[in-house]
Amino acid sequence: MISSQTISEAFSALAHPSRVDILLALMPYAASGLSAGDLAQKTSIPPSTLAHHLREMEAGNVIERIAQGRKTIIKPNLTSLSSIAGLITQLCCTSEGEPEC
Q: Which domains occur in the chain, in start order? A: 4-89 (1.10.10.10)
Query: Per-residue pLDDT tens for 39-48?
Result: 999 999 999 9
- pLDDT at residue 55 in the model: 97
Residue predicted with more confidence, 63 or 4 = 63
pLDDT of residue 37: 94
The DSSP letter of residue 81 is H
What is the dihedral sign for C-alpha 61, 75, 65, 39? negative
pLDDT at 11: 94
pLDDT in tens, 60-96: 999 999 999 999 999 999 999 999 998 888 877 665 6
Residue 89: what pLDDT? 84
Q: What is the pLDDT of residue 2?
A: 85
Residue 76, SS3 per DSSP:
strand
